[in-house]
Amino acid sequence: MNKRIENLIQRLKHESGLSLALSLGVFLFILFFQPFPMESLDLENSLVYLAGFGGIVFISIISVRTFLHEFMRGNDDRSDSIVFPSYLKGFLILLISTVAFEFYLRYVGSVRINFNISAKVFLICLAPPVIISIYDRMRELSQHNDALIVEKKLVQKQVQKYEEDYLNKSVEFISENLNENFSILIAEVAFIKSADNYVEIVYKDGDTFRRKLLRNTLKNIEQHIKQYSNFIRCHRICIVNLHFIEKLEKNSENHLVVIKGSGETLPVSRQYLLKLKETL
């Protein structure tokens, strides 16, 4: 029971702001446009009389969206849209406020109810549930967007952790002279170039770029490291680590990639240009 009372109080606090704003809007609309006869009332009495319309709207919204909602929900913790659909809430608010308006006009304002008056009542009472529906939809979209942002951050953290773990792995470059095999962290390899019967591995050691020659072919090296997605072929003589690409630029003749931290450039052939652009 205490939990239901707490839920009711929390919901009442949540709904009161919107309800007050809509009831004030209805009050001001009727005050300025005067859709109903008020010739027999003086200024002071007319303000009190018009405040009654705002009160009807406020009570209708609070009754449906707070008290009736919690009564229908009971101990059911399912989502609001399943327990009490939004369109049903809007219809009940429209129905209650329309009937209350006409009774108020007839028995308090002594206004004769006809089709013209009923049409005005209906249109005025239709505005609050429509605005509430838009408000609810915007709130749902905002909550969904917030949830997506949180999910995106979690995914980014997972990807970052994966990349850190991935880049901290070692790769062993095989030499035809088996005693010259070279093992290094993936994160430290900047690029690999073909040099006749050798390959030149350029890697970063602290703040310095160093070079290591191995007797092998670039084709064999490419097959050996193809499991690592951060290595990409940019030219028939070059394989580059994506994490070391500072930018892709074009001179008068061809495209080049600039290596981060060294300023050195590598050629990019047309054969690999599109794939490199997509990856970057």
CATH number at residue 193: 2.40.50.1020
pLDDT at position 69 over 60: yes
Nearest CA among 158, 215, 204, 138 for reference residue 182 = 215
Together in a domain, 85 and 116? yes
SS3 of 230, please? coil
Instruction: Give the tens place of pLDDT for each residue, 71-107.
Output: 776 555 554 545 567 888 899 999 999 999 999 999 9
Which range marks the domain in which residue 274 is found?
A: 170-279
pLDDT of residue 83: 56
pLDDT at position 244 over 70: yes
Together in a domain, 83 and 187? no
What CA–CA distances, in Å, run from 210 to 14, 31, 80, 151, 175?
Answer: 64, 82, 63, 41, 18
pLDDT of residue 230: 84
Among 161, 179, 196, identify where a domain stops: 161
Q: What is the average pLDDT score of the chain?
A: 86
| Residue 68 CB neighbours (<10 A) | 17
Rounded-to-integer distance, Cα 184 and Cα 206, Å: 13
Rounded-to-integer distance, Cα 278 and Cα 280, Å: 6
What CA–CA distances, in Å, run from 125 to 20, 110, 117, 198, 209?
Answer: 15, 19, 12, 83, 75
Together in a domain, 219 and 133? no
- More confident of the two residues 257 and 180: 257
Task: For residue 169, name the pLDDT band (cuts at 50, 70, 90).
Answer: confident
Q: If you average pLDDT over residues 170-176, what whole number do you get?
A: 84
What CA–CA distances, in Å, run from 193 to 125, 171, 189, 223, 227?
Answer: 76, 16, 12, 14, 18
Together in a domain, 157 and 174? no
pLDDT at position 121 over 60: yes
Among 161, 195, 228, identify where a domain stops: 161
Which region among 149-153, 173-177, 219-223, 234-238 has the lowest average model confidence (pLDDT)?
A: 173-177
pLDDT of residue 176: 81
Task: For residue 35, name the pLDDT band (cuts at 50, 70, 90).
Answer: very high
Together in a domain, 125 and 242? no
What's the number of domains the chain is made of? 2
Together in a domain, 209 and 140? no
